[in-house]
Amino acid sequence: MEDLEPLKNRIKELGRQAASFSRQGVELTLNGDRHGGRTLMRQAYGASKLCQALIRELKRQEQEHGIL
């Protein structure tokens, strides 16, 4: 379905963003910047939670359209 493409793209974007924040957070923590690392890990967590919510919405819409 073409109408689901923007949602799929947003999910991919948020997944990449969460992974990037997490990698950066780990790197900062290992380099001694615990505060900066913690801030990035919180951002990773938030992006991940939003991504999960959008995945649930995508699944709901797919079921609604009979795609599954």
Give the count of alpha carbons within 13 A of 30, CB side only: 6
Residue 1 — very low, low, confident or very high, per pLDDT cuts 50/70/90? low
Structural domain includes residue 46: yes
Residue 67 — very low, low, confident or very high, per pLDDT cuts 50/70/90? confident
Tally of domains within the chain: 1
b/e string for 17-41 if b means 16 or more Cβ within 10 A?
bbeebbebbeebbeeeeeeebeebb
Range of the domain at 53: 2-63
Structural domain includes residue 15: yes
Under 8 Å between Cβ of 51 and 16: no
Under 8 Å between Cβ of 25 and 38: yes
Please state, in angstroms and rounded to a whole number, the distance separating the CA atoms of residues 4 and 50: 17
Structural domain includes residue 68: no
Structural domain includes residue 27: yes
Higher pLDDT, 36 or 68: 36
Which amino acid would we find at residue 23? R
